[in-house]
């Protein structure tokens, strides 16, 4: 039986009440107990908590006629449980939690100031990618309109070069009108933005 530190012994630990302390003090002079138990008794008596198995060993070895009952001995005593050590968070988890906290704070701030900050107006062709994409789209639309008008008039007017050219020009004009109408609709509705401008703005927000 180790006598170094009874509080660090494994097993059930109870609080040392006054009845337990009086019993241990008397057990230190009990000749029926072994020398180890007599030395252990005052050590346990001086502590606030003690292992149950040590107190029970002293009680079992003491005089049956003079020792108190177990019920009266442990009356008022409670169990002592060690609190588990908190788990240490890894550096990766700490960094992830910090980023989540910053993101939550940013969203909370934006929610608070959304009524007082002016909304950002959508500027068409704000990026080089938008300008290039719109130019290619217009050129393709005009070419398609011209080709459709040319082929339509060629089928209607028996391969007349002048009428074929007129049909192509008419198709080109109609294509430009359609493209102009689409441009007006796109710029008047802020929700209709090009994918490139959306992705660039998302990258800026991040």
List, for residues 101-119, the tens digit of each pLDDT value: 999 998 888 888 777 766 5
- pLDDT for 185 equals 81
- pLDDT for 104 equals 92
User: Of 140, 139, 165, 141, whose CA–CA distance to 152 is shortest?
Assistant: 165
> Comparing 126 with 34, which gets the higher pLDDT?
34
Question: Tell me: the pLDDT tens digits for 15-57?
Answer: 889 999 999 988 888 888 888 998 898 889 888 888 889 999 8
Helix (H) or strand (E) holding 153: helix 128-156
> Comparing 186 with 145, which gets the higher pLDDT?
145
Instruction: Say if residues 175 and 146 touch (Cβ distance below 8 Å).
Output: yes
Helix (H) or strand (E) holding 201: helix 195-205
- pLDDT for 124 equals 57
- pLDDT for 206 equals 47
pLDDT at 201 over 60: no
Mean of the per-residue pLDDT values for the chain?
A: 78
Region 167-187: what's the mean pLDDT? Answer: 83
pLDDT at 129 over 70: yes
- pLDDT for 120 equals 57
Instruction: Say if residues 58 and 93 touch (Cβ distance below 8 Å).
Output: no
Extract the tokens encoding 201.
Answer: 């703005």
- pLDDT for 195 equals 47
- pLDDT for 100 equals 92
> Comparing 129 with 175, which gets the higher pLDDT?
175
Cα first-last separation, the chain: 64
Give the residue extent of every domain in the chain.
Answer: 8-80, 92-195
In terms of C-beta distances under 8 Å and separation of at least 24 residues, what long-range contacts does 123-131 make, across chains too?
124/186, 124/187, 126/197, 127/196, 127/197, 127/200, 129/196, 129/200, 130/194, 130/196, 130/197
pLDDT at 4 over 80: no
pLDDT at 6 over 70: no
């Amino acid at each position: 039986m180790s006598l170094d530190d009874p509080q660090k012994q494994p097993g059930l630990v109870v609080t040392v009440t006054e009845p337990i302390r009086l019993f241990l003090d008397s057990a230190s002079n009990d000749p029926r107990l072994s020398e180890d138990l007599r030395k252990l008794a005052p050590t346990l008596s001086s502590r606030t908590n003690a292992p149950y198995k040590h107190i029970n060993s002293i009680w079992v070895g003491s005089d049956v006629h003079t020792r108190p009952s177990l019920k009266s001995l442990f009356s008022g005593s409670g169990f002592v449980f060690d609190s588990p050590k908190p788990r240490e968070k890894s550096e990766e988890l700490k960094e992830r939690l910090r980023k989540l906290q910053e993101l939550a704070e940013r969203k909370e701030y934006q929610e608070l100031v959304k009524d007082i900050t002016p909304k950002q107006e959508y500027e068409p062709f704000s990026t080089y990618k938008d300008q290039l994409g719109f130019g290619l789209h217009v050129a393709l639309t005009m070419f398609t309109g011209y080709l459709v008008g040319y082929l339509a008039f060629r089928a209607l007017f028996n391969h007349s070069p002048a009428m074929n050219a007129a049909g192509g020009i008419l198709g080109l004009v109609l294509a430009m009108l359609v493209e102009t109408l689409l441009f007006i609709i796109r710029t008047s509705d802020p929700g209709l933005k090009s994918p490139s401008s959306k992705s660039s703005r998302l990258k800026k927000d991040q």
